[in-house]
Amino acid sequence: YNSLYQAMNVYMSKKMDIPTAQLNRFEIRQRLSASDVPNSLQEKWDSALGQCEIAAYTPTSLSDPQSLYDEVSNLIKKIDRIL
């Protein structure tokens, strides 16, 4: 989950030109919204980040890591088509 979380943040940092020091879930949502990314995709992205954060601090995982990876991969493809 940690690797996926880091990969998601690196992707957004580069894609949205957000310096790493300013990268947070709120800033990502604002940038996605300003770029006309549908709210449903914004919510899914934020949810995936949240799941990664929770998994990092709890002994039990919330979902199958592979299914979360697949979901994020699909989100990236959809966001790439928009941006």
The pLDDT value given to residue 55: 85
- Could you read off the pLDDT tens digit of each residue along the chain, which spans 83 residues? 889 999 999 999 999 998 988 899 999 999 999 999 999 999 999 999 999 988 888 876 666 788 999 999 999 999 999 98
The pLDDT value given to residue 82: 92
* Whether the Cβ atoms of residue 29 and residue 42 lie closer than 8 Å to each other: yes
The pLDDT value given to residue 57: 82
C-alpha distances in Å from residue 9, one per residue of 1, 21, 60:
12, 11, 23
The pLDDT value given to residue 73: 96
Q: Which helix (H) or strand (E) holds 82?
A: helix 65-82
C-alpha distances in Å from residue 1, one per residue of 12, 54, 73, 74, 80:
17, 9, 14, 17, 22
Tokens 């919330």 locate to 62
